[in-house]
Amino acid sequence: MPHANALYGPLDPAPDAGYENPPPRMGFFTDTSVCIGCKACEVACKEWNGVPESGLDLLGMSYDNTGALTANSWRHVAFVEQPRSVGWATPAFQEQPDGPSVSPLTAAVGARTGTDTGTDPGLTPGSPGAAARMSGGPEFLGMPGGQPPGRGSGAEGRTDFRWLMMSDVCKHCTHAACLDVCPTGSLFRTEFGTVVVQEDICNGCGYCISACPYGVIDQRKDDGRAWKCTLCYDRLGAGMTPACAQACPTESIQYGELDELRERAAARVAKLHEHGVPEARLYGHDPNDGVGGDGAFFLLLDEPEVYGLPPDPIVTTRDLPAMWKRAGLAALTMAVATAVAFLGGRP
């Protein structure tokens, strides 16, 4: 029988998905405090998974020209320029003759450049206000005024600065709404507890896209199917590390058994707190959160919204049992559809 927490609450997802004696749940811990924004993860992912080009546009979102997680970008490095200092560093522009920060303004301009990828994954593009708040940080006080440049005494100018970078990826939720709503059985839970789209099954219905609380999964314009990070399912089967984590020069992306990663992450946060970085916090690590914890979780240096992450994601199918009848019907339809597809596919 399904686990009582099959749709919400703490759960080890692989046994729940029918795997007897599965391997430990595997995942990513992305420590943004050591990310250098090199984008090796984006490239290594594309090389291994054959992900196509996602556009040749200068977005003006700091050094981010990828824009969002999409069907054609399964890793996305976000860059956030902020007029505040990171805990470990001396203020970057102390005593420089500069005016107020322009980071919120440029972020707002950049936000308008978000590319149309077919569906609307990630944060809704074209939301300048949100982008400006992200760059301003929690103390955002509105758009900068027209301060005459370089003519002030410097005292009123920006002194603090930090450049946050984060490699975002599919969260491989414990309770994956994309999987729950998939009518074809294309999305499935692997024995490693990860969530994978099966490209030979997906029929491009698109239900998963609106279901994802993080806006990760996306349809590819030319083939209509849904695509996202597989946590390199094929590599995991061969005992290898996912391509992004293998490439990551600074161990910002760490791959391993989720339980061990959670311990490591807690220790890292404690160490950063000890070393004067009180802003360090974890995101997506908690099995009691709205998605039952993420298989890919993060150490952040600011509020999640600053990185374009939802502050309190909740699995969109939490209320599924209440709608069981409808769902049951859908499941039957799904079963028939799958059977038909399967029969049609017989050689």
Partner 1 sequence: MGVRRWVERWPLYRQLTGTDPLGRGAAAKSARSLTLTARTDTADSVARSVCPYCAVGCGQRVYVADGQVTQIEGDPDSPISRGRLCPKGAASKSLVTSPLRQTTVRYRRPYGTEWEDLDLDTAMNMIADRVLAARDETWEDRDDEGRPLNRTLGISSLGGATLDNEENYLIKKLFTAMGALQIENQARI
Partner 2 sequence: MIVIQGSNMAEAHPVGFQWVMEAKRRGAKVFHVDPRFTRTSAVADAYLPIRAGTDIALLGGVIRYILDNELDFREYVVAYTNAATIVTGEYRDTEDLHGLFSGFTEENASYDQSSWQYEGAEQNIPPRDTETQRETAAGLEHESHGAPVGGDTQRDETLQHPRCVYQILKRHFSRYTPQMVERVCGIPQDKFLELAQAWTANSGRERTSMLVYSVGWTQHSVGVQYIRAGAIIQLLLGNMGRPGGGVMALRGHASIQGSTDVPTLFNLLPGYLPMPHHADHPTFDEWVDSIRHPGQKGFWGNARAYGVNLLKAYWGDAATADNDYCYGYMPRMTGDHGTYQQVLNMIDGKIKGYFLLGQNPAVGSAHGRAQRLGMANLDWLVVRDLFMIESATFWKRAPEIETGEIVPEECRTEVFFLPAASHVEKEGSFTQTQRLLQWREKAVEPPGDARSELWFFYHLGRIIRERLARSTRARDRALLDLAWNYPTHGPHAEPSAESVLYEINGYDVASGRPLSSYTEMKDDGTTAGGCWIYTGVYADGVNQAARRKPGSEQSLVALEWGWAWPSNRRILYNRASADPDGRPWSERKKYVWWDAEKAEWTGYDVPDFEKNKAPSYRPPPNSSGVAGIAGDDPFILQGDGKGWLYAPSGVLDGPLPTHYEPVESPVRNPLYRQQANPARKVYTHPVNTLNPSPPQEHSDVFPYVFTVSRLTEHHTAGAMSRNVSPLAELQPEMFVEVSPELAALRGLSHLGWAHLVTSRAAVQAKVLVTDRVTPLRVDGRIIHQVWLPYHFGYEGLVTGDSANDLFGITLDPNVLIQESKVGTCDVRPGRRPRGQDLLDLVVDYRRRSGDLVHRYPPMVTTDVADSSSDQEA
Summarize the chain as % helix, strand, coil (round to 5): 30, 15, 55
Nearer to partner 2, 97 or 278 (CB): 97
Residue 170 assigned to a binding site: yes
Find which of partner 1, partner 2, none residue 339 binds, CB within 5 to 8 Å per kind. Answer: partner 1
Q: Give 142: exposed, middle or buried? Use CB within 10 Å, 0-12, 13-18, 19+.
A: exposed
Residue 93 assigned to a binding site: no
| Cβ at position 55, least distance to partner 2 in Å | 6
155, 93 contact by CB (below 8 A): no
Contact between 116 and partner 2 by CB under 8 A: the answer reads no
Find which of partner 1, partner 2, none residue 304 binds, CB within 5 to 8 Å per kind. Answer: none
CA distance 185 to 203: 10
Nearer to partner 2, 150 or 328 (CB): 150
Q: How many CA atoms lie within 13 A of 95 on its CB side?
A: 1
Among 3, 15, 105, 130, binds partner 2 (CB under 8 A): 105
- Strand locations in the chain, DSSP E? 26-31, 75-82, 162-169, 187-189, 195-197, 218-219, 226-227, 253-257, 281-283, 296-300
Among 20, 90, 155, 322, binds partner 2 (CB under 8 A): 90
Alpha-carbon distance values, 6 to 2, 16, 120, 319, 333 (Å): 6, 7, 28, 12, 21
* Sequence letter at residue 202: C
Nearer to partner 2, 165 or 181 (CB): 165
Both tokens of 159, joined, read 């002194």
CA distance 164 to 169: 16
Nearer to partner 2, 35 or 178 (CB): 35
Residue 235 assigned to a binding site: no
Nearer to partner 2, 102 or 330 (CB): 102
Find which of partner 1, partner 2, none residue 338 binds, CB within 5 to 8 Å per kind. Answer: partner 1
Residue 205 assigned to a binding site: yes
Residue 244 assigned to a binding site: yes
Both tokens of 170, joined, read 């599919």
CA distance 345 to 347: 6
Nearer to partner 2, 136 or 293 (CB): 136
Q: Mark the binding-site residues, compressed into ranges.
A: 35, 38, 41, 45, 170, 173, 178, 182, 202, 205, 208, 212, 229, 232, 244, 248
Residues in touch with partner 2 (CB under 8 A): 34, 36-40, 42-43, 46-47, 53-58, 60, 62-63, 65-66, 81, 83, 86, 88-90, 92-103, 105-106, 109-110, 113, 144, 146-151, 154, 158, 161-165, 249-251
